[in-house]
Amino acid sequence: MDAFKLFNDCVTKLLETERTKSLELAEVLRLQKALLNFALKCYPGNLDFVNHCINQAVVVLRGGKAEGKEAAELDDAAVQELEALLSIPLASLALQVLELNEYSDILAFLPWESRKQVAIELVRAVLASRAPLSDLAKVTKLFEMMGPLLKDDPDAASHSKVQQELLLSFCVRIPCAGPHFDCVRLCASMCNPPAIYVDN
Protein backbone atom coordinates (compact mmCIF):
# COMPACT_ATOMS: atom_id res chain seq x y z
CA MET A 1 0.00 0.00 0.00
CA ASP A 2 1.31 3.42 -0.97
CA ALA A 3 0.97 5.53 2.15
CA PHE A 4 2.32 8.64 0.43
CA LYS A 5 -0.46 8.49 -2.18
CA LEU A 6 -3.07 8.17 0.56
CA PHE A 7 -1.77 11.18 2.45
CA ASN A 8 -1.31 13.17 -0.72
CA ASP A 9 -4.90 12.51 -1.78
CA CYS A 10 -6.08 13.70 1.61
CA VAL A 11 -4.05 16.91 1.36
CA THR A 12 -5.23 17.56 -2.21
CA LYS A 13 -8.85 17.03 -1.22
CA LEU A 14 -8.42 19.29 1.77
CA LEU A 15 -7.00 22.07 -0.37
CA GLU A 16 -9.73 21.72 -2.96
CA THR A 17 -12.67 22.08 -0.61
CA GLU A 18 -14.23 25.52 -0.44
CA ARG A 19 -13.95 25.79 3.31
CA THR A 20 -10.16 25.56 3.30
CA LYS A 21 -9.70 28.09 0.47
CA SER A 22 -9.47 30.71 3.21
CA LEU A 23 -6.52 28.91 4.83
CA GLU A 24 -3.48 31.05 5.47
CA LEU A 25 -0.60 30.49 3.05
CA ALA A 26 1.63 29.55 5.99
CA GLU A 27 -0.82 26.80 7.01
CA VAL A 28 -0.84 25.31 3.51
CA LEU A 29 2.94 25.41 3.37
CA ARG A 30 3.11 23.73 6.79
CA LEU A 31 0.91 20.95 5.40
CA GLN A 32 3.25 20.47 2.43
CA LYS A 33 6.22 20.53 4.79
CA ALA A 34 4.71 17.71 6.85
CA LEU A 35 4.04 15.67 3.71
CA LEU A 36 7.60 16.25 2.49
CA ASN A 37 8.97 15.23 5.88
CA PHE A 38 6.94 12.04 5.74
CA ALA A 39 8.12 11.26 2.20
CA LEU A 40 11.77 11.77 3.15
CA LYS A 41 11.55 9.66 6.30
CA CYS A 42 9.53 6.76 4.85
CA TYR A 43 10.80 6.75 1.28
CA PRO A 44 14.39 7.98 1.49
CA GLY A 45 15.92 8.54 -1.92
CA ASN A 46 12.59 8.73 -3.74
CA LEU A 47 13.01 12.00 -5.60
CA ASP A 48 9.60 11.79 -7.29
CA PHE A 49 7.77 12.32 -4.03
CA VAL A 50 10.01 15.24 -3.05
CA ASN A 51 9.52 16.72 -6.50
CA HIS A 52 5.78 16.34 -6.16
CA CYS A 53 5.69 18.15 -2.79
CA ILE A 54 7.81 21.01 -4.12
CA ASN A 55 5.65 21.28 -7.24
CA GLN A 56 2.52 21.43 -5.10
CA ALA A 57 4.06 24.21 -3.03
CA VAL A 58 4.91 26.15 -6.21
CA VAL A 59 1.33 25.81 -7.42
CA VAL A 60 0.06 27.11 -4.08
CA LEU A 61 2.52 30.02 -4.11
CA ARG A 62 1.64 30.98 -7.66
CA GLY A 63 -1.96 30.89 -6.53
CA GLY A 64 -3.15 29.77 -9.94
CA LYS A 65 -1.42 32.69 -11.61
CA ALA A 66 0.22 32.22 -14.96
CA GLU A 67 3.89 31.32 -14.88
CA GLY A 68 6.28 34.23 -14.79
CA LYS A 69 3.85 36.61 -13.14
CA GLU A 70 4.81 38.34 -9.94
CA ALA A 71 3.76 36.30 -6.91
CA ALA A 72 1.92 37.80 -3.98
CA GLU A 73 4.01 39.14 -1.09
CA LEU A 74 4.65 36.49 1.55
CA ASP A 75 4.12 37.35 5.19
CA ASP A 76 6.71 36.49 7.84
CA ALA A 77 5.04 33.22 8.86
CA ALA A 78 4.83 32.04 5.24
CA VAL A 79 8.48 32.95 4.64
CA GLN A 80 9.47 30.97 7.74
CA GLU A 81 7.49 27.92 6.62
CA LEU A 82 8.83 28.08 3.08
CA GLU A 83 12.40 28.40 4.37
CA ALA A 84 11.86 25.30 6.54
CA LEU A 85 10.21 23.44 3.64
CA LEU A 86 13.23 24.09 1.44
CA SER A 87 15.78 23.27 4.14
CA ILE A 88 14.29 19.85 4.99
CA PRO A 89 15.41 17.93 1.88
CA LEU A 90 18.92 19.44 1.93
CA ALA A 91 20.36 17.31 4.74
CA SER A 92 19.43 13.99 3.13
CA LEU A 93 19.60 14.87 -0.56
CA ALA A 94 22.49 17.38 -0.71
CA LEU A 95 23.58 17.58 -4.37
CA GLN A 96 20.53 15.61 -5.53
CA VAL A 97 18.52 18.74 -4.80
CA LEU A 98 19.89 20.07 -8.08
CA GLU A 99 17.89 17.39 -9.86
CA LEU A 100 14.60 18.72 -8.50
CA ASN A 101 12.95 20.65 -11.31
CA GLU A 102 11.21 23.38 -9.37
CA TYR A 103 13.63 23.85 -6.48
CA SER A 104 15.38 26.88 -7.94
CA ASP A 105 12.02 28.36 -9.01
CA ILE A 106 10.57 28.10 -5.53
CA LEU A 107 13.70 29.71 -4.05
CA ALA A 108 12.87 32.86 -6.00
CA PHE A 109 9.73 33.32 -3.88
CA LEU A 110 11.85 33.89 -0.77
CA PRO A 111 13.35 37.25 0.23
CA TRP A 112 17.12 37.65 -0.16
CA GLU A 113 18.03 36.95 3.50
CA SER A 114 15.97 33.73 3.64
CA ARG A 115 17.46 32.59 0.36
CA LYS A 116 20.86 33.15 1.92
CA GLN A 117 19.95 30.93 4.88
CA VAL A 118 18.79 28.16 2.52
CA ALA A 119 21.99 28.62 0.49
CA ILE A 120 24.08 28.19 3.66
CA GLU A 121 22.22 24.96 4.46
CA LEU A 122 22.76 23.80 0.88
CA VAL A 123 26.51 24.44 1.00
CA ARG A 124 26.78 22.76 4.41
CA ALA A 125 24.93 19.69 3.06
CA VAL A 126 27.13 19.51 -0.05
CA LEU A 127 30.28 19.80 2.06
CA ALA A 128 29.05 17.14 4.48
CA SER A 129 28.26 14.73 1.65
CA ARG A 130 31.85 15.07 0.35
CA ALA A 131 30.56 14.23 -3.11
CA PRO A 132 32.94 15.57 -5.76
CA LEU A 133 31.67 18.42 -7.93
CA SER A 134 32.69 17.01 -11.30
CA ASP A 135 29.81 18.06 -13.53
CA LEU A 136 30.05 21.55 -14.99
CA ALA A 137 26.27 21.87 -15.45
CA LYS A 138 25.72 20.93 -11.81
CA VAL A 139 28.37 23.37 -10.59
CA THR A 140 26.72 26.15 -12.61
CA LYS A 141 23.31 25.32 -11.14
CA LEU A 142 24.77 25.13 -7.64
CA PHE A 143 26.30 28.60 -8.00
CA GLU A 144 22.98 29.86 -9.33
CA MET A 145 21.19 28.59 -6.22
CA MET A 146 23.75 29.96 -3.79
CA GLY A 147 23.70 33.39 -5.44
CA PRO A 148 22.92 35.26 -2.18
CA LEU A 149 26.20 33.96 -0.73
CA LEU A 150 28.20 35.18 -3.72
CA LYS A 151 26.87 38.68 -4.15
CA ASP A 152 25.02 41.41 -2.28
CA ASP A 153 21.32 41.98 -2.58
CA PRO A 154 20.90 44.11 -5.74
CA ASP A 155 17.83 45.81 -4.22
CA ALA A 156 19.66 46.74 -1.02
CA ALA A 157 22.49 48.47 -2.90
CA SER A 158 20.54 51.65 -3.59
CA HIS A 159 19.14 51.63 -0.05
CA SER A 160 22.53 51.41 1.63
CA LYS A 161 23.90 54.10 -0.68
CA VAL A 162 21.17 56.49 0.50
CA GLN A 163 21.96 55.58 4.13
CA GLN A 164 25.65 56.16 3.53
CA GLU A 165 25.07 59.58 1.96
CA LEU A 166 22.79 60.60 4.82
CA LEU A 167 25.35 59.53 7.38
CA LEU A 168 28.18 61.29 5.60
CA SER A 169 26.23 64.54 5.37
CA PHE A 170 25.37 64.22 9.07
CA CYS A 171 29.05 63.75 9.97
CA VAL A 172 30.02 66.80 7.93
CA ARG A 173 27.32 69.05 9.36
CA ILE A 174 27.60 68.11 13.02
CA PRO A 175 31.19 67.21 13.77
CA CYS A 176 31.62 64.77 16.66
CA ALA A 177 33.56 65.87 19.70
CA GLY A 178 36.26 63.26 19.24
CA PRO A 179 37.82 61.60 16.23
CA HIS A 180 35.40 60.43 13.53
CA PHE A 181 36.75 56.91 13.47
CA ASP A 182 33.42 55.18 14.21
CA CYS A 183 31.50 57.27 11.71
CA VAL A 184 34.06 56.72 8.97
CA ARG A 185 34.15 53.00 9.68
CA LEU A 186 30.39 52.81 9.58
CA CYS A 187 30.26 54.72 6.30
CA ALA A 188 32.88 52.39 4.84
CA SER A 189 30.99 49.30 5.95
CA MET A 190 27.77 50.60 4.42
CA CYS A 191 29.48 51.39 1.17
CA ASN A 192 28.59 48.90 -1.53
CA PRO A 193 31.80 48.45 -3.44
CA PRO A 194 31.56 47.82 -7.17
CA ALA A 195 32.29 44.35 -8.46
CA ILE A 196 35.89 43.82 -9.44
CA TYR A 197 37.76 41.30 -11.53
CA VAL A 198 34.68 40.53 -13.63
CA ASP A 199 35.69 38.16 -16.39
CA ASN A 200 33.82 38.10 -19.66
Q: Is 139 near other proteins (CB under 8 A)? A: yes
Q: Is 11 near other proteins (CB under 8 A)? A: no
Query: Cβ distance 114 to 77 under 8 Å?
Result: no
Residue 64 CA to residue 76 CA, distance in Å, equals: 21
Residue 123 CA to residue 119 CA, distance in Å, equals: 6
Q: Is 28 near other proteins (CB under 8 A)? A: no
Q: Is 112 near other proteins (CB under 8 A)? A: no
Q: Is 185 near other proteins (CB under 8 A)? A: yes
CB atoms within 10 A of CB 8: 18
First to last CA, the chain: 55
Q: Is 1 near other proteins (CB under 8 A)? A: no
Q: Is 124 near other proteins (CB under 8 A)? A: yes
Q: Is 166 near other proteins (CB under 8 A)? A: no
The residues, ordered by sequence, that sit 6+ positions from 56 with a Cβ below 8 Å of its Cβ are: 11, 32, 35
Nearest approach, Cβ of residue 67 and other proteins (Å) = 27
User: Which residue, 116, 182, 177, is CA-closest to 146?
Assistant: 116
Q: Is 143 near other proteins (CB under 8 A)? A: yes
Pattern 59-78, other proteins, x by CB under 8 A: --------------------
Q: Binder to other proteins among 27, 152, 165, 172 (CB under 8 A)?
A: 152
Between 102 and 153, whose beta carbon lies closer to other proteins? Answer: 153
Which value, to the nearest 10 degrees, does the dihedral of the CA atoms of residues 114, 117, 123, 129 take? -110
Interface size with other proteins, residues (CB under 8 A): 37
- Widest Cα–Cα separation across the chain: 77
Q: Is 140 near other proteins (CB under 8 A)? A: yes
Report which DSSP code applies to 2. -
Distance of CA 175 to the CA centre of its chain: 42
Between 66 and 196, whose beta carbon lies closer to other proteins? Answer: 196
Residues that bind other proteins (CB under 8 A): 116, 120, 123-124, 126-127, 130-134, 136, 139-140, 142-143, 146, 149-152, 176-178, 182-183, 185-186, 189, 192-199
